[in-house]
Structure 1
Amino acid sequence: MTESFVGIPTEPIGSIPRPAELLSAMAAHADGRIGDDELATAQDDAVRDTVRRLEEIGSPVVTDGEQSKPSFATYPLAGLDHLAPDGAVIPFADGHQRQLPRLTAGPLRYGVHADRYLRAARRHATVPVKQAVIAPSALSLLYPADGIDGYPREAFLDDLTAEAEADIRGCLDAGAHVVQLDFTEARLSLKLDPSGGLLEQFITLNNRVLERFSAAEQARIGVHTCPGGDQDSTHSLDVDYVALLPGLLRLKAGAFYVQLASEQEPDKVLGVLADHLPGHARVFIGVTDPIDPRVETPEQVRDRVLTAARYLPLDRLGTCDDCGFSPFADDTSTSRDTAFAKIRARIEGTSLAARELAG
């Protein structure tokens, strides 16, 4: 780690494309050709390789690459009963869809907590490890519009709040550098409800969880927003970002990870960030676009950072990737090597900008 990152920290968002060996093991496990132990070995090998490669290219903070998650959104549901497959549908611009399950009975309990992934990554890491968790607002979509007999929505939200708190707290207690709430449904909510009512519900729910943490703990919690990159497409890039950011920045978090590299009007977005960023928070701007097949140069990244520095003070500025590279396990649209090349460009470009800004 070089001294440049003292002024401008840089962090990955989370997911990294899985190696071919892990994808093969996942398919074999799904078909019953290998057992749980063999799958777990393949997952741990992939985590070890991910951490190693991130450290080799100089990443001052690493993640497990979400190698063992079925998706960034559904990991807490692994092994749970009382789920039907016909839940909320998320449409993407290229026509493909993702569908959440639907809760059919209560109470809601997480089947897996994210500290499991954090502990696995920390066994292999020599630098700080961050952990991504799903925002409770995303899991609130599991509850059906027509309700559940004997399990009212308010009881569901009480359970969800408690489980989301436990998910975050478990990671903080296990030594996470930062816990990142993935709030990709934020921008989508404005597409589903342009009035902003759904977004306000999401923010209220997320703050209901975040307010359970002390100021010192909130300083180690961040929130990520993006237009939902998946299979080289997005679900809400056409939604005006400016309508989202003032509400998003009301969340009780110490860091905000904001997609920016793929935005058409970055200066407009930076102006809103500068006007609304809370006094205690740092904003990490996206400087690489995971769904663009072209690998950014360090110089392109440098220039994006220098632009951001015209709006944001250096002690409030960081860099990140716009989004995870493979948030769903079956997304092979971006190669593993391309992802690491983009991450290297982010690290090197951030360092270039920091040196230039230091004079």
Structure 2
Amino acid sequence: MTIPSELVGSLPRTTELVSMWDGSEGAAVVVQAVRDTVQMLEKLGSRVVSDGEQTKADAWTYPVTGADNVAVGDGVVIPYADGHQRQLPRLTAGPFRIRNHAADYLRAAQKHATVPVKQAVVAPSTLSLLYPPDGLSGYPREDFVDDVLNETEADIRACLAAGAHVVQIDFPEARLSVKLDPSGGLLRDFVDLNNRLLSRFDDADRARIGIHCDPGADQDATHSLDVDYAEVLPSLFRLEAGNFYLQMASESDPDRVLRIVAEQMRSEGRIFVGVVDPIDPRVESPEEVRDRVLNAARHIPLDRLGTCDDAGFAPYADDRSKSRDTAFAKIRARIEGTALAVAALGG
């Protein structure tokens, strides 16, 4: 018996890569950052690795970074609990096209990996926020949505064809949508849109596609931790995905949430439970992680349980809130603590 454990997403950039974001150049710096990340994850015992999103400017709208038909910092505002905010770009003209493909990040990481590599992609619901409320002349929203779905489908298929262990669809606005619209209508619209994408894949492909949901983790702040998971999970589990990656370590009452998960989870697929909190500066001990896994095992069948981080550690290129060493120490605790739980369960 094993319990798989996976990285969710971003890791703090290397010092050299941070300098590059600040103005210097050098393709070698990018390659080295990806290589160092993959090799360190393998050294820690990760059986599935990723590039830690080293070269994405952000995890929300990287597909259009550098595109000439978006206005930067002129779109939807994402407010965080500490008062800082992020503002998404706004599409200024059609058509929507992905400029930076997830499959390219995947292939770059695979060059340095000796174990399977997973790849994160942004959800169509996230990209839908780029379309301006007043519309665009000659490019109706329906055409935009079709382009988003077509482009995202093609990118996911390219990742699967390239041998991705799993493609993780990041859905950070799921919980936030309830804060913006307490009626739940916006969340239902987002889930319907994402299901339109998932319906294009067969069962075998969907078994290799996952959904990540969290309350945000940027500069040590969340955007929607105050939203009750009970208002999100029933809709979230309507998504026709094979894996779900759920923030849990930072929940004030994880037992209550795990009970809801057990009641609402789909009849197939795996639930990856967050057992380390990227925002907490304290590094969890392996024993603490073990206890969180054992608690989750009280609610979720062992053959359907996995562990993960609550969220990415540095989703934006300018997020300097935590060190690379701290992130890797937390990942080590997750891996070692999961192994301790397996041993305690008789695996």
TM-score (norm 1): 0.95
Alpha-carbon distance in structure 2 between the residues aligned to 1:227 and 1:309: 23
Q: 2:119 aligned with 1:124, yes or no?
A: no
Partner of residue 345, structure 1: 333
Q: Which runs of 4+ in 1 moved over 2 A?
A: none
Deviations 1:48-89 (A, max 9, x none): 000111001101110101111111112210231221131000
Partner of residue 137, structure 1: 125
Report the alpha carbon displacement of residue 344 of structure 1 after superposing the two structures with TM: 0.2
Partner of residue 57, structure 1: 44
Alignment match of 1:318 (pick from 303, 306, 314): 306
Deviations 1:138-159 (A, max 9, x none): 0100011111111111111111
Q: 2:280 aligned with 1:292, yes or no?
A: yes
Alignment match of 1:307 (pick from 273, 288, 295): 295
Alpha-carbon distance in structure 1 between the residues aligned to 2:247 and 2:65: 28
Q: 2:236 aligned with 1:241, yes or no?
A: no
Q: Secondary structure in 2 aligned to 1:206?
A: helix
Partner of residue 96, structure 1: 84
Alpha-carbon distance in structure 1 between the residues aligned to 2:39 and 2:161: 24
Report the alpha carbon displacement of residue 195 of structure 1 after superposing the two structures with TM: 0.3
Report the alpha carbon displacement of residue 103 of structure 1 after superposing the two structures with TM: 0.7
Alpha-carbon distance in structure 2 between the residues aligned to 1:265 and 1:27: 40
Amino acid at match of 1:222: G
Amino acid at match of 1:121: A
Amino acid at match of 1:28: G
Partner of residue 258, structure 2: 270
Q: 2:19 aligned with 1:19, yes or no?
A: no
Q: Secondary structure in 1 aligned to 2:245?
A: strand
Q: Secondary structure in 2 aligned to 1:90?
A: strand
The 8 Å contact of residues 65 and 99 in structure 2, kept in 1 or not, is answered as yes
Partner of residue 2, structure 2: 7
Amino acid at match of 2:30: Q
For 1:177-188, what aligned pairs fall within 5 Å after superposition?
177-188=165-176
Alpha-carbon distance in structure 2 between the residues aligned to 1:83 and 1:213: 29
Partner of residue 99, structure 2: 111
Report the alpha carbon displacement of residue 7 of structure 1 after superposing the two structures with TM: 2.2
Q: Secondary structure in 2 aligned to 1:320?
A: strand
Alpha-carbon distance in structure 1 between the residues aligned to 2:66 and 2:10: 22
Amino acid at match of 1:156: F
Q: Secondary structure in 1 aligned to 2:263?
A: helix
Alpha-carbon distance in structure 1 between the residues aligned to 2:170 and 2:325: 24
Q: Secondary structure in 1 aligned to 2:306?
A: strand
Partner of residue 3, structure 1: none
Report the alpha carbon displacement of residue 25 of structure 1 after superposing the two structures with TM: 1.8
CA RMSD, aligned part only?
A: 0.9
Q: Secondary structure in 1 aligned to 2:23?
A: helix
Q: Secondary structure in 1 aligned to 2:120?
A: strand
Alignment match of 1:160 (pick from 119, 144, 148): 148
Q: Secondary structure in 2 aligned to 1:256?
A: strand
Alpha-carbon distance in structure 2 between the residues aligned to 1:246 and 1:353: 28
Report the alpha carbon displacement of residue 28 of structure 1 after superposing the two structures with TM: 2.3
The 8 Å contact of residues 21 and 317 in structure 2, kept in 1 or not, is answered as no
The 8 Å contact of residues 195 and 239 in structure 2, kept in 1 or not, is answered as yes
Q: Secondary structure in 2 aligned to 1:28?
A: coil
Partner of residue 63, structure 2: 76
Report the alpha carbon displacement of residue 168 of structure 1 after superposing the two structures with TM: 0.9
- Identical residues among aligned pairs (%): 66
Equivalent pairs counted in the alignment come to 346
Q: Secondary structure in 2 aligned to 1:7?
A: coil
User: Can you give the 5+ residue segments of structure 1 that lack an aligned partner in the other structure?
Assistant: 1-5
Report the alpha carbon displacement of residue 280 of structure 1 after superposing the two structures with TM: 1.3
Report the alpha carbon displacement of residue 14 of structure 1 after superposing the two structures with TM: 1.3
Alpha-carbon distance in structure 1 between the residues aligned to 2:125 and 2:69: 19
Q: 2:198 aligned with 1:213, yes or no?
A: no
For 1:31-50, what aligned pairs fall within 5 Å after superposition?
34=25, 38=26, 40-50=27-37
